[in-house]
Amino acid sequence: MLHFSCDSCGQPLDDQRFVVRLEVFPAFEPAEVSEADLDVDHLQEIAAELTELEFSGEELEELHSQTFRYDLCPRCHSQYVKDPLRRDALRRLNFSEN
Ligand SMILES: [Zn+2]
């Protein structure tokens, strides 16, 4: 039997488990570089762009798509769905700085 714990607070989870699945991928489709584009000039351009953006080969792979999966307890779930990007939390931080 699999045992889960909440990825947010660490509490052991029973049947009342919520799964968060996130997929992050670029809207600009880096995979659209076709072989026809890969003449020498383009390669240099692409290499220059990649150097500018400081992507390593591994990071470029991650650019295509990243998925995250989290198990949450009911309490953390209800907090998560209210503010998935933690914008409220950040806003509160900014306010307290002023
Ligand atoms: Zn939790």
Distance from the alpha carbon of residue 71 to the mean position of ligand 1, in angstroms: 8
Ligand 1 centroid distance, CA of 11 (Å): 6
The pLDDT assigned to 58 comes to 61
**Given this model, what pLDDT does residue 32 score?**
56
Supply the pTM of this predicted model.
0.57
C-alpha 4 to ligand 1 mean position (Å): 11
Between the CA of 22 and the centroid of ligand 1 the distance, in Å, is: 17
* pLDDT tens for each residue of 22-51: 998 888 865 555 666 656 676 677 676 666
DSSP symbols for the chain: ---EE-TTT--EE-S--EEEEEEE--TT-GGG--GGG-SHHHHHHHHHHHHHHT--HHHHHHHH-EEEEEEE-HHHHHHHHH-TT-HHHHHHHHHHH-
